[in-house]
Amino acid sequence: MNNQVANTQQITVKQFVNMNSTKKRFEDVLGNRAPQFMSSLVSVVNSNQDLQQVEAASVINSALVAAALDLPINPNFGYMYIVPYNGQAQPQMGYKGYIQLAQRSGQYRKITVAELYEDEFISWDPLMEELKYEAHREKERDEKEQPVGYFGHFELLNGFQKTVYWTRQQVDNRRKRFSQAGGKNSDKPKGVWAKNYNAMALKTVIKDLLTKWGPMTVDMQTAYGADEEEYNENPRDVTPVQDTASAQSEEGYQTQDILNSFDQAEKEKATEEKKQTKKPAKATKKNTSKGDQANGTSESQEELFPDGTITPHTK
């Protein structure tokens, strides 16, 4: 176990990606799109020094979650983030990721999520779910001006509708209570929350709306279970096994499998290096018994070469 921990700390994400076992994991999930996704993963890590400091295996595990949900991990897109926390990488959904999964279900007629500023908000009636506001989307706003609240709304094809409204304070209370990487128990946001607070606030609202009131598809359940904000201590491996009969419905790939394959590769490498250090042995001839000659199974002479391989001797 200690050797496995040491290996985890020594190898990088790029080394993981170049391993055949890792490639096989991503290919099973993404097919011919796996090389592009893995290349994107390396680029994301190279552009984030914090991710370079965490355990590489946890980065791979987080990326497999995104791959299983077929969501890009480029943080500029806002679908899925890989965030560092306490020496580990953890997957974190963006609000666009939740909307994308909802759209794929084919059960929504409308999905809306947006922020409201003080000059736009009029009133909110939670009993009747009536939100009154006057939007001023064309207005240029100072970067220091913050929204006073965020709302989400959806309508299903069967006619069911739901609207929610969260004040900025409610959103921040949620962050402080649940978001480990976002500054839990701290008044100052951290990580993705510090870089793009509004996007994460919209994610909080749309996640609550869709997972409480919308249809819980397999993908939506996977996203909810994998989301960083649901973690208490250690990240969980929730990537589903790729199965054409039951698409992404079982417990998924474990990063430990990748570590085991790495250990095996290291052992094979050490064995090969040990062979190469051996001195060349003289060629020897094998005596062939009469019984073998009679049966037509006489063995050819074999010669031991310096590189440790054995090949038949040719005259």
CB 163 within 8 A of CB 128: no
Of the candidates 225, 227, 171, 228, the residue with the CA atom closest to the CA atom of residue 199: 171
Each residue's pLDDT, cut to its tens digit, for the chain (315 residues) gives 444 444 445 688 999 999 999 999 999 999 999 999 999 999 999 999 999 999 999 999 999 999 999 999 999 999 999 999 888 999 999 999 999 999 999 999 999 999 999 999 999 999 999 999 998 888 888 888 999 999 999 999 999 999 999 999 999 999 999 887 888 888 899 888 998 899 999 999 999 999 999 999 999 999 998 886 654 444 444 444 444 333 333 334 445 555 565 556 666 666 776 776 665 555 444 454 444 444 444 444 344 334 444 444 444
What tokens were used for 237?
């491996």
Half-sphere exposure of 255 (CA within 13 A, CB side): 24
Q: Cα separations (Å) of 192 from 10, 82, 113, 211?
A: 27, 10, 19, 22
DSSP, collapsed to helix, strand or coil, labels residue 229 as: helix
CA–CA distance, 174 with 260 (Å, rounded to integer): 38
Tokens standing for residue 101: 């999964």
Select from 234, 240, 227 the least CA-distant residue to 94. 227
* pTM across the whole model: 0.71
